[in-house]
Structure 1
Amino acid sequence: MEMDREEMMWKQIYNQVMESKKKDEEKKTAHEVRIQEVDGGFFEKFGSLFREQAELAISQEIEEKEGVVAAAAVATDLEGNESDYAVQPDNEADTDSIAALSDAESNEKQSKTELISTALNIDELYSEILYEILHNVGCDLSCEIGQNALFSYIQDAFHVSNEYHQTQLAAAEKKEAPKILLNVEVIEAKDLAPKDSNGLSDPFVTLYLTSDSSHRYNTSVKEGTLTPLWEEHFALPLPENTSDDFLCLEAWDFDPAETVKEKFGKIFDVKGVKGVRKLMKEIAVTAAHGQHENELIGTARVPLNTIPAAGMVMWYSLDKKNKDSRQGIIKVRLSFSSKKNTLVAEQEHRHLLRVLLLDELEKSKVAPHWWCGSFSKQGEAIITQHIIQSGLTPLEATVCQWAVYTKIHQKHALSFVLFSNLLDQLIKPLQSNSISAEDTRLFWESTKNLLPYCISVIRKLKKKQADKILVRTVNEVLTIFDKILMLDPPSDMDLFPATLYPWLPPHEENSNYSVKNALMDAVSVSASNWFDYIVDNNKGSDSSEISTLQFITKIINLVRCDVQKAIEFFDRTFQEKIGIAYAKELYKFYQQKICEIAEEEVTNVCKTLKKFNFTGNTLDRESHEEPLNEGTKLFELYLGIQRFVLLGKGISPVDCDNFNINNFYKWFHGGVAQWLEIAVFKALQRIEKAVELDKLVPVDATVKYSSSAVDTLTIFYQVKVFWQQLNWPDVEGCYTFIAKMIDDICRCGVFYAQKMSKRVEGMGEIQNPYETRFEVTNEWCLAINNIEYVSQALRPFTTELGMNEVVKKMADIKSPIEADRCQQTLENVIENAIDTVKNEIIELLETVISKMAPAMKRLLVEGAELFNQDSNSIDRLMMYVDNNLSTLNRELNEENFDRTINMVWEQLSKILLDIIETNLEKRRPPSFFANLHKTLNLMLGSFKSSDDTSCEGLEKTERLLRIHGLETNDLIHQVHLDLCEEYKSLEESPFGKLTVRSKFEGNSLHIEILNAKILVAMDSNGLCDAFVRVHLMPEDKFRNHEPPKTKTHNKTLLPLFDEKFEVKLTDEQRLAKDGLLMFSVKDKDLLGYNNKHVGEAFISFKDIIDTDAPISTLPQVHLELARPTNTAALSIKAMEHRQGEKLAKEFMKKFKQRMGSHQPKASE
């Protein structure tokens, strides 16, 4: 019942696990189902296969608990109605061999009466038993049971008639009473009363029967002790009537014959006042009588009718007349015996044991392996009396029991504990040769009968479910072997003859083939038989590769479960009892067998796997049949072998490297390579399907990516799970496969980015009767985020594949240089893939911005044309940009948003440049460009934060708009401002230098022109007629002032002017922004109509100090004279576009004159 309950519990747990798994499978979303339909759940079959195998390891153990021997159900049924745990010979050969050793018991149909009569004449034995009952010895159960009950019991046991019984009883009554001896062993005494002056005694014991007090027996004297130890034996003949007799035990203190002088010599050994009194008394007695008698310590009386027939060991109190207190205690062993020929007595006893035990087994119907040595009360009484009255020692009786029980065990299995207990009593006598040669021979012959049944338990371990009963049985059997191994069998006895053990390897009869050797061979043969059995009973009719792989996988799982069962239930017992590593021996055998059936088959399957040729994610024609089923079964087998190998490493960490199965991974090399080829194709297919099914909505509210990104990373995860569970042990193979996986995963990442980009093409286009424009949508942002999410997973994925660990191992195996080269190769693959994916993101962002360009351009042009009118073009432009940027900011991560902002400004710059070029050709007025500039500033103010990185193109565009938006007068002044900045960088001029001073004092501008130096020669005589004119700029704000002019200094290159000028300014003029002083040095023409331009220099108003100090005290300013040379300046280009204006045309004419037409000559 207990076993049934346990099985039911395991079944319930297993069913719960299966139901949970089924519910999880049912929870698959429709999306997941559609994704997996494209490849038949390829990645789940491999990635999840390994994960589920690990998660369901417990349930597999449950299955093993429930029926690791399910394949051997036929073998179990063959046992018929026998007990599940009854140990029978393994085959017919064993049965015949054992029967040959069973003497008269070889014929199973022989009656019990025939069995009894074959060993001893029934009349003699029956009469002997009746005689012993009549002359019962000792106080035993037989006294309580009564003679009649014993007579009835023995009559039933021997199966005799009443007439026969009465005849034998009458004959027994006429026989003379047996000569019975009382065996007494005086063992020790304690707490004896001191009788000597030194506080001790010299005790000895006298023992006798009260019926014959003249026959006294004495022990030896133990000097100076109150706790003597004797261990001395005595045999006292018993009278015919012992019912009123007693055994007397007297403890005496021995008093040796000593003189008075010798007595006085003990004065120093006296102890206490009592001791002095005793010594004085002894001296007085010695002096008076010349001697001293022994002194009684105490007496114990034992009624003979209280002594059991089997004997007893008892402590008795020593008492003394006139003494209330106990004088000590004495320990004795008491038993009865008789004188009879030992061989005859043993033969009788063995026959008696056999008759009684067979009778009791028949009556009680006790189950096999249950009887453990307990007879009924009547049986116990008869057996005990026979031992006593036959004079058998306990050891001889035990040998008889061993011989009889081992014989009966052949027909009715007895408890193995019974044999173990008997061995406990026999080991030491056998080791010390305390047993007669005849009994020793009998013991080993009987042991020879028992061994087949013990070994059969070991051989049948595979055919039984491991439960408490079987574990206990194995433990009991191994205990028996453990005890037998302590003994040395006779050299001329073969305990394992070939006729009895045909399955053992051949060995010479007189060789040192021990019990342990037989056990080792039994374990091996048992494993071999079991392996052959499960192979034969699991072969299917289908010989296809898939069926063969399934068959091998099933065999491996069965033998692994068998080894696990051995570890859990038996291994520790085997090692502790007999020093055999049971699980290790099984594993060593099984691993070799697995190699034999699996290596060639796996290698052939891997070689014949159909090549998987494809271009992009499309199969070539010859690959229309996908080799997926073979791959699935192949790696199920790989996983099974891997778990088996890991089991072996746990069993034998030291020897595991020597097992052939450790190289199993080499069989699968071609299969793994083929799987990776299939995987990359399946991954591309699934990615394409995932992008197609992606609704482009976030997976949930907490993330900014959609389903296709999750599906893609799921592929990566399944590949990682597959690789981690594959746990490829070879470093070089690891590198090859990891390099392949990294390359394929990177390829998938790039492919996903491309497909995601195409997925959102055309989204965001808005058309209405008034306009067509592009709006940034959430779908575009999700596409960008998806690609980014996948790209971020590439590098962690390579790390999780164990790339770094493999590189480190390669450095140990090969060289650091080789390892670095390999790592660099992988790093380059990863970097290239990440860069490619990043470029896809950039291209996608550029596409978004380029789609915004037409609407932005149109709104910019409208805004420029209608800026100062009641138009909402600017508002619409601002709203358009704001809406799109808000979407980007909300949906993109920070990095991609910043990247997008920069692209927006770059695109805006391109748009504005295009607008500027187009409208310059249309000769648009400056106000158009000014309005564009204002619009741009509004946008920059609204959308461009101060901490943004500068956009060079945008800055150039902004300056170009500002220049073209200036009115002509402002543009002329801008030309001069540009020249002022340009001239500041001059370090030395070929046109000469001009020295001046200037200051503001209130609204007065004071100018002092001191001199000029090294002027360029303008006249043919190599000299110059120089004067200086000072222009205040911008000229349109200083038209009411005549430009100050110095006197002309003729024919000199070093004119000394020393002239001062004061110009009165209005408040507005004084505060004019960007005001300039232009000093123009000219060469005067003879008539004054064609003055030549020598050079010019500028001083900005902001560089002129405001002070009331005399100007003469101010530092001189040395100005390098220069001429305009840069016609490519933006302001000059803008001026050239205004040739239709008179003012611009006149300015450019004068500007070109200022530039001069010839290079200056070097002055003499």
Structure 2
Amino acid sequence: MDIATENKQETSDNSNLQTETKEQEEISTGDLEIDIKMLPKQKKLNLFNEIQNSCVQQNIGEERKLKIASYMRETLSLSANEINENVQLKALTMLEDFFTYHDLIVAFAQHEMKQKIWEKDLSNFAYEILEIFAKSKGITDSYILYARWAAFVEIYDSEKIDLNIFTDILDRIFDDNNEEEKEVKTCMPIFRKMVTNDYTTDDEINKIFWQSTTKLFQKFAGFFAEYFMNMGDDEDENIMVKLNEMIDLILRVENLAKEQNYDITFESKLKEEVANLVTNQLQRFVNKDILSAIDDDGELCLNVLIEAVKFITSHFQEVYKQNFEIFQRLQEYSFAKNLYIIYDEKITETIKPMIEETTKSFKQESQAITVIAAIQLYEELKKFSQIGTENYHNCDLQLASYENWFPSQLIKIIKTPELISKAIASENDDSSNDFANYKRTSSAVDSMALIFTVKDFWAQFENKGKREDEALQFIVNELCRLTLDYIDKYMNKFDNDESESDTYNNRLIKMSIAVANFQFVLEELQGLLKNNLQEFNFIESDNVREIFKNTFKIIEDKMTTTIEVQTEKFMPEFQKWVMEAAADENNRDKFLDDFYNLLTNLEKNLKQKRFETAKKILWNQIIKILPQILDDAINDNESQEFFSNLKEIWLNLKEMNLPINDEEKDIVANFEESLEWYSMESSELLYRQYEHQSKKISNTASATVICSIVNNKLKIEILNARNLNALVPDSNCHSFIKFKPIHKEFNSVSSQQTKVHENSHFPLFEESFEIELTEKQRKCQNAAIYFKLKRKLPLGTVSTLGEAFLSFREIPIITDENQKPLRKELSFIKLSEDECDGVKTMTVLKYRKKSNDETTKKILIDMKYRDKAPTVDFVKKQMVNVIRTSYRKSSKLIPKLNM
């Protein structure tokens, strides 16, 4: 080709180039809504190149980007045959540049339209390009889905993760309705590798893909960890729902990796991210400035560490509480345990050397306030350590040895409460057997010795300076706290000590020893304030005095409370004790002796003030419980002996000589009245009923008797009877007198009677009787002689005309000749079952009948039937008996006939 021709050719090419450039400019600056499908193929390619170049310009506007996206769709909507491979490669390259161009991503972050642009426009635009490329290469949808995953990793390799996009990508990749996914055994690499190297092997592709996936897991682990460590995003209400979805998707990704022998465990990524966040959190508290201040200000250093451990403890607990549901879903990862383990490692790594450095120099010139800070730090570490030991037993936790980070002398002081517990636990339980000599137990002495050791420990440190009062108050609080700790633990042991071998009164004895212990530690603490605390140079401190004052009051209240509570606990046993004592005379006497010993020992063990308090509380409980015992005994039909013993117990308890308040007066009065009636012998009750009724009757039959007790013999002489017509108006009066001593001691003694005097209203008996008495019978002052005036009727029947009673108290015991026997006129009346003038005699007698008192039962039955006419059957029976008797007598007089 000659030069002219060549120049002409060049001119033609330049002209064409200028034409293309002009057309391109027109497209770039013209109306973007023209129909791109009408353009020639070359112009479409030029347009594609122009769009590619425009996308990487920093000054591209949001509206322009959307227009470009619209044109790109139109351009790439051409069939695969219309776009050659070069165009395809350019399209793919443009897409990668478009997604990974950093300035473009940053630009998106500055606009509220970011999510809309990415999710609705640009992402769809990317998918369309991938689908066109896939169709031209014969790539399945499943491979495209994995390519999308890789693209996402590539885009966000250096950007903050977006949870919405991440879930959208995973949703598209792991679609349960996508059957092709189940057949996928290899995965596509990132785009550039896929299009630039057609000879990449499957293993290389898998490796590249899972490397990208590892990156993505790292990103999401960072998001996941940050979310939990910051307690979640309150602005996104659906955050928990999305996280739950993500957990399921992540587990599926892991399972797919395991099938292809790749280890991309999410747990390891998560632990790594959490560890970084925990490190950052600790660095917020512990920095170089604090590290450099260890030698200058140990308190400052320790206080910083205290705040750090407090934050970690509360943060861990709050994270676990707020995200419990997620943690339950993440059991496979043991997220909560791993989080704790990370904290455990980081605390040990960061804080342990600082504690050792700060506390190793504790000495006399050290400020007490610094030592206090060390104790507070110890307590905070203890709280966090307990979370691990209680919940994660099989983990090798470094914090388990946190005690070794502190000086041994400090640990000994910190563990004083444990030593107090041991002193109480090792105390000899048999000490309560030596009541007479016991004032306090070994636990009280040992515990106060420990508390004085604590006092001596604090006395070695410097307590001067601007924070002197703060330090001294802490020390006094510790001494008082330890004292109260001993009291609380001793009370707890006492409350839980339910030894079956305890006697009824042993609990009160142990209570008195407990109170004596409390009194001892109170006096020791008071002496500490008065004498020994002068070495601290704060004896005039009002705050310190107030602390002691409050502690003294608490101890006083605890002593009173102990007496009240333990006395109240004692009362069920006391009630049982009284019931057993009332049931048997021997038990009663033993009870009275034991109760007297109980009061004696209480008085020995307690100060006078405490003893009076104990007596008053015990007395109030007794007043409450004895009326209840009485009511229960009446309902249970207890015997007269029970009530008699109960009365004896009450009379002895009253010797405590404690006042009865107005509210208790009526209760006690009613109790004593009822107890008086129910404790009487039946003989005495009958005699009282007789005495009460006989005073109201003036005209009645009477009899003269002479009675005495001589040489253990009861002598009774019945002289005569008078005025029987007051009881039997007709002349048919066949009378006699029957008598018998009544009392439980006389149950074996038979009745005796006079002869029958017929047809006389003034019979002259003049008969004497003697009854041999035992020693007990002779002393029965509440016994009585029961006389019955009886009438014999035709046919052999007998009726009672009246009764009279003579009390043993009236019968003299004759010991010399100058003494005279009792001569008394007995009035015979018919006892009534009606109550008279509020007298409870018959009520008690009827009750006594229910309790199977034989004497009372027989007398009341006689009273019931004495005035009733004989029945027809009874009369017939009596007539038959008379006829038989007459026949027997007459047959003896008739001689036998010889046959």
| Greater fraction helix | 2
Shared fold (TM-score greater than 0.5)? no
Quick check: which has more Rg, 1 or 2?
Answer: 1
Query: TM-score normalized by structure 2?
Result: 0.37
Q: Which structure exhibits the higher relative contact order, with contacts defined as CA atoms closer than 8 Å and separated by 6 or more residues?
A: 1
| Greater fraction strand | 1
